[in-house]
Chain A
């Protein structure tokens, strides 16, 4: 029932926006990359544009995971901790619809964090909209995937503290992948472009270093990433069916 998912998504969005501290911390992270790199590039005349672009790409990749992190940990682990998940599950709504709604709510913040960072980076690099806008569209499955993964982890956790521990660790995944590809470009193989997260890092690196992002590759990677996100959402809904979801606090 799409309607129920939208009701859940709307509630998550309102709830998330009212958590002012989380919104500010996500926004600060999203802006940190462009600000830091902007200051560094201004202060060091003749800086290597390729290295700066590569560093910015890591910030953008991580921004997709940071934007919705607080909302994700609150969406299920927070509900378990506050004892509001059971009342939610008492409603005649399928678990998959609840998960889809929560995912849409988390994804809203993840996409916002990702776009704020990407647009900020594009401004620092003086990139024309005709270059970054299509790339941004092609990369949108990344924050959607990040939101799905974070929601699954939040569903496994019993409280916000536990979720915070695991979700903070998950942020190291894109950070590690990004740094590895920046410092060891020789490790890159053709098939790496089709791996979720790795492929997006390569695209961001190319975009921010002034290179080309192939359209077909972007579409294929986007479909693969979105497909994986969907599978994760189904796994999350299955997880919500288990007995320990309503016990174990």
Chain B
């Protein structure tokens, strides 16, 4: 479970996240929805501890809001917008490197690498160096890296960007399986179709502030619209006008 409270971040004079509060429960896919530049990526980076918030707290599972960034990182798996992998290493070597960095003992690491390779269907390319991989192959390798230590919380920042339909469907399937296993999945996107197809709960942000939170049906009801797209436009436009 991820709980974010009054999170705030500025770059210079520009405030990109303003007192943001939301929760992502276990066993649910929470969609972080917002237009380009709304503050989704910055929020996810603060949750993972690579950016320090100016104010506010991030609580993950039973760890307190004062837990260090390293403590939070132990409880998280993340696939942020940067899907870089090491091109001179094979898929297995890429995965093993990150497992060793997390201090996984060799016997556990070997089994985890095989589990991830099997789950993501990476067997045919597992011993190939990753140079020249397709976008989908790179994404799966990067996702494998995030899932290797079987985290209870998973953050994904626009993971379907540039992927073909088949890979997107296979990713959705994997995320649903993780959700059913009780993992808290936070999924950021600005593609409404994707959010509707996947998310149980939505956190809509605009200009760094929370504008709505709840199930897609609740969001539509709050905005007084029949479809999610209209609700999103109505909520975010109203917030931007208020700013």
> Which residues of A come within 8 Å of B, CB atoms?
1, 3-4, 7-8, 11, 14-15, 18-19, 79, 82-94, 243, 246-247
Binds A, one of B78-86, B112-120, B202-210: B78-86
Q: Are B142 and A87 in contact, CB atoms less than 8 angstroms apart? A: yes
Min Cβ gap A73→B in Å is 15
Chain B 58-92, CB within 8 Å of chain A: the 1/0 string? Answer: 00000000000011011010101011111111000
Residues on the A chain within 8 Å of B98, using CB: 87, 91
In angstroms, Cα B17 to Cα A243, docked, is: 15
Does B172 sit at the interface, judged by CB under 8 A?
no
Min Cβ gap B20→A in Å is 17
Chain B 85-125, CB within 8 Å of chain A: the 1/0 string? Answer: 11111000100011011110000000000000000000000
Q: Are B100 and A89 in contact, CB atoms less than 8 angstroms apart? A: no
Q: Are A93 and B101 in contact, CB atoms less than 8 angstroms apart? A: yes
Residues on the B chain within 8 Å of A93, using CB: 70, 101
Does B174 sit at the interface, judged by CB under 8 A?
no
In angstroms, Cα B106 to Cα A3, docked, is: 13
A82 touches which one: B48, B52, B76, B84 (CB < 8 A)? Answer: B84
Please name 23 pairs of A and B residues whose Cβ atoms are closer than 8 Å in the assembled complex, sorted by A.
A4-B101, A7-B97, A14-B88, A14-B89, A15-B86, A15-B88, A19-B88, A82-B86, A82-B87, A84-B84, A84-B86, A87-B82, A87-B84, A88-B101, A90-B76, A90-B80, A91-B73, A91-B98, A91-B101, A92-B74, A93-B70, A94-B70, A243-B11
Q: Are B84 and A85 in contact, CB atoms less than 8 angstroms apart? A: yes
Q: Are A87 and B101 in contact, CB atoms less than 8 angstroms apart? A: no
Q: Are B45 and A246 in contact, CB atoms less than 8 angstroms apart? A: yes
- Residue on B with the closest CB to A244? B11
Min Cβ gap A4→B in Å is 6
Residues on the B chain within 8 Å of A87, using CB: 78, 80, 82-85, 98, 142, 145
Q: Are A246 and B97 in contact, CB atoms less than 8 angstroms apart? A: no
Min Cβ gap B59→A in Å is 17
Q: Are B50 and A90 in contact, CB atoms less than 8 angstroms apart? A: yes
Residues on the A chain within 8 Å of B102, using CB: 91-92
Residues on the A chain within 8 Å of B84, using CB: 79, 82-87
Min Cβ gap B134→A in Å is 16
Residues on the B chain within 8 Å of A246, using CB: 45, 50-51
Min Cβ gap A81→B in Å is 9
Q: Are A92 and B73 in contact, CB atoms less than 8 angstroms apart? A: yes
Residues on the B chain within 8 Å of A91, using CB: 73, 98, 101-102
> Which residues of B come within 8 Å of A, CB atoms?
11, 45, 48-52, 70-71, 73-74, 76, 78, 80, 82-89, 93, 97-98, 100-103, 142, 145
Residues on the A chain within 8 Å of B83, using CB: 83, 87
Q: Are B82 and A86 in contact, CB atoms less than 8 angstroms apart? A: yes
Residues on the A chain within 8 Å of B50, using CB: 86, 89-90, 246
B70 touches which one: A15, A85, A88, A92 (CB < 8 A)? Answer: A92
In angstroms, Cα B102 to Cα A79, docked, is: 19
Residues on the B chain within 8 Å of A82, using CB: 84, 86-87
Residues on the B chain within 8 Å of A247, using CB: 11
In angstroms, Cα B52 to Cα A197, docked, is: 38
Q: Are A84 and B82 in contact, CB atoms less than 8 angstroms apart? A: yes
In angstroms, Cα B105 to Cα A3, docked, is: 12
Residues on the B chain within 8 Å of A84, using CB: 82, 84-86
Residues on the A chain within 8 Å of B49, using CB: 90
- Residue on B with the closest CB to A11? B97
- Residue on A with the closest CB to B69? A92
Q: Are B11 and A83 in contact, CB atoms less than 8 angstroms apart? A: no
A3 touches which one: B82, B87, B89, B103 (CB < 8 A)? Answer: B103
In angstroms, Cα B84 to Cα A246, docked, is: 13
In angstroms, Cα B102 to Cα A87, docked, is: 12
The 6 nearest A-B residue pairs measured at CB? A84-B84, A83-B84, A83-B82, A92-B73, A86-B82, A18-B88
- Residue on A with the closest CB to B155? A90
Min Cβ gap B10→A in Å is 10
Would A8 and B88 be within 8 Å (CB), given that A86-B50, A246-B51 are in contact? Answer: no
Min Cβ gap B146→A in Å is 8
In angstroms, Cα B109 to Cα A7, docked, is: 14
- Residue on A with the closest CB to B78? A90
